[in-house]
């Protein structure tokens, strides 16, 4: 009987010891939650070469991808910690509001309407609406030259309509399902010009199979301040701004521009200052 009491007491002590060890292990996991192995979900475009593109082999490339990867690293996440999620233009606010992503870097122009729903870090790139034409076409040198020309943009986009309303009322609008279709039409001389943000156009023109075939007009038809979207009131905004400032100061920003847009001879603006949204 005496031996049984000792054994029971020992068993109780062992159970308490294991419980304490387990609790200590949980505490250790929580304290390391900001380090490697901690997942972060980032929204990007999957279909924009030079900015956000998911390649057939499952990799992700582009300026926005490079920027997002740098920012995530500054937030404590290695590239392998990132879960990339497609952020189509119409879905971006919803993805942030529902908490489906931690932040979005997807040619996300800062404007007053969007700022009612989400917060923006940045801007990290100042783009402009522009046109893309064939490299050997010298007939379009200024916006007015688009009159009586076939001008393509994506269905639902306001870019082509802006040109027709403000600059070239006789332009013949052609709406296609995607920019790739417009580009094919441009190459085959079915259309004369493609219009959207110059960064997007430069991304397409920089693709290996397109290099040397197209040129940007350099018209700067609008200002598009790309920001990184976060949930309204999120503390991530300040931390991402700090990361963006470091990215510019250490030369990474310029490296990413040259890497992703260089083959298109993209005349990019200097890196914008944080909080300076150009109207």
DSSP secondary structure letters along 9-30:
HHHHHHHHHHHHHHHHHHHHHH
Measured CA to CA in angstroms, residue 177 lies from 82, 96, 97, 129, 172 at distances of 30, 26, 28, 19, 17
Asked whether the beta carbons of 196 and 51 are under 8 A apart, the reply is no
Q: Using the 3D structure, point to which of 216, 235, 256 is the last residue of a domain.
A: 216
Same domain, 92 and 114: yes
| CA–CA separation, 194 and 174 (whole Å) | 9
| pLDDT of amino acid 32 | 32
Residue 83, domain member (yes or no): yes
The three-class DSSP label of residue 108 is coil
Residue 270, in any domain of the structure: no
Same domain, yes or no, for 164 and 99?
Answer: no
- The CATH number that applies at residue 63 is 3.40.190.10
Other beta carbons less than 10 A from residue 79's beta carbon: 11
Per-residue pLDDT of the chain (279 residues; tens, 9 = 90+): 434 444 444 444 434 343 333 333 333 333 233 345 699 999 999 999 999 999 999 999 999 999 999 999 999 999 999 999 999 998 999 999 999 999 999 999 999 999 999 999 999 999 999 999 999 999 999 999 999 999 999 887 888 888 989 999 999 999 998 888 999 999 999 999 999 999 999 999 999 999 999 999 999 999 999 999 999 999 999 999 999 999 999 999 999 999 999 888 898 999 999 999 999
- Tokens in use for 6? 């000792």
Q: Within a domain: residue 192?
A: yes
C-alpha distances in angstroms, 5 versus 9, 10, 17? 6, 9, 18
The answer to the question of residue 15 being in a domain is: no
Number of separate domains in the chain:
2
Asked if 47 and 183 sit in the same domain, the reply is no
Is 13 domain-assigned?
no
Domain match, 137 and 256 both:
no
pTM of the model: 0.82
Determine, yes or no, domain membership for 18: no
Is 29 a member of any domain? Answer: no
- Asked whether residue 121 falls in the same domain as residue 137, the answer is no
- 138 and 151 fall within a common domain: yes
Q: Are residues 148 and 191 in the same domain?
A: yes
Q: Does residue 95 sit in the same domain as residue 71?
A: yes
Last residue of a domain, one of 199, 216, 233: 216
Tokens of 258: 């040259």
Separation CA 61–CA 256 (nearest Å)? 11
Q: Are residues 136 and 260 in the same domain?
A: no
Secondary structure class of 278 (helix, strand, coil): coil
Q: Is residue 271 part of a domain?
A: no
156 and 212 assigned to the same domain: yes
Q: What is the pLDDT of residue 36?
A: 58
Range of the structural domain that residue 167 is part of:
129-216
Same domain assignment for residues 113 and 134: no
Q: Do 135 and 86 reside in the same domain of the chain?
A: no
| Among 177, 200, 216, residue at a domain's last position | 216
What's the CA gap between 268 and 198, in Å, rounded?
9
């Amino acid at each position: 009987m005496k031996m049984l009491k000792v054994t029971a007491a020992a068993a109780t002590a062992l159970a308490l010891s294991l419980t304490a060890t387990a609790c200590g292990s949980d505490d250790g996991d929580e304290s390391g939650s900001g380090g490697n192995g901690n997942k972060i979900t980032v929204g990007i475009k999957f279909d924009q070469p030079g900015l956000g593109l998911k390649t057939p082999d499952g990799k992700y490339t582009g300026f926005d991808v490079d920027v997002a990867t740098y920012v995530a690293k500054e937030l404590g996440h290695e590239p392998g910690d990132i879960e990339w999620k497609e952020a189509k233009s119409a879905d971006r606010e919803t993805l942030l509001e529902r908490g489906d992503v931690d932040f979005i870097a997807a040619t996300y122009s800062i404007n007053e309407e969007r700022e009612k729903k989400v917060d923006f870090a940045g801007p990290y790139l100042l783009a402009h609406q522009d046109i893309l034409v064939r490299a050997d076409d010298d007939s379009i040198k200024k916006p007015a030259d688009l009159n009586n020309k076939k001008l393509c943009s994506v269905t639902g986009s306001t870019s082509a309509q802006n040109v027709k309303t403000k600059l070239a009322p006789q332009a013949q609008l052609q709406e296609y399902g995607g920019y790739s279709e417009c580009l094919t039409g441009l190459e085959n001389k079915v259309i004369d010009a493609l219009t959207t943000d110059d960064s997007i156009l430069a991304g397409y023109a920089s693709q290996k199979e397109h290099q040397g075939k197209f040129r940007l007009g350099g018209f700067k038809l609008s200002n598009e301040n790309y920001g990184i979207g976060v949930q309204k009131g999120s503390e991530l905004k300040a931390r991402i701004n700090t990361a963006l400032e470091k990215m510019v100061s250490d030369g990474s920003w310029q490296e990413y521009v040259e890497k992703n847009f260089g083959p298109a001879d993209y005349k990019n603006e200097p890196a914008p200052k944080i909080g300076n949204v150009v109207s």
